[in-house]
């Protein structure tokens, strides 16, 4: 039996059957949200999910935001 870590790696590797199933489930969830609550509310839910992933996944948040800001608005020399 595979460990949870191995299963997650397989789910996030393009071309594997587990990834196909994972992407299919994500598509069904997105379709259900679009049909029940509409486009803008679904987009808002997706944005909040992305913010949650950012808050949970990035260790150096301040440094990451600084790099993004410097890339978007380069400092003047």
Per-residue pLDDT of the chain (77 residues; tens, 9 = 90+): 778 888 888 888 888 888 899 899 999 999 999 999 999 999 999 999 988 888 888 888 899 889 989 999 998 87
pLDDT at 54: 84
For residue 76, give Cα distances in angstroms to 49, 66, 67, 69.
Answer: 34, 15, 15, 13
pTM of the predicted protein model: 0.65
């Amino acid at each position: 039996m595979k460990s949870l870590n191995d299963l997650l790696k397989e789910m996030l590797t393009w071309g594997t059957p587990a990834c196909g199933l994972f992407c299919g489930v994500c598509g069904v969830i997105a379709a259900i949200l679009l049909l029940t609550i509409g486009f803008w509310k679904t987009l808002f839910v997706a944005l909040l999910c992305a913010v949650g992933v950012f808050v949970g996944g990035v260790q150096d948040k301040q440094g990451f935001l600084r790099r993004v800001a410097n890339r978007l608005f380069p400092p003047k020399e």
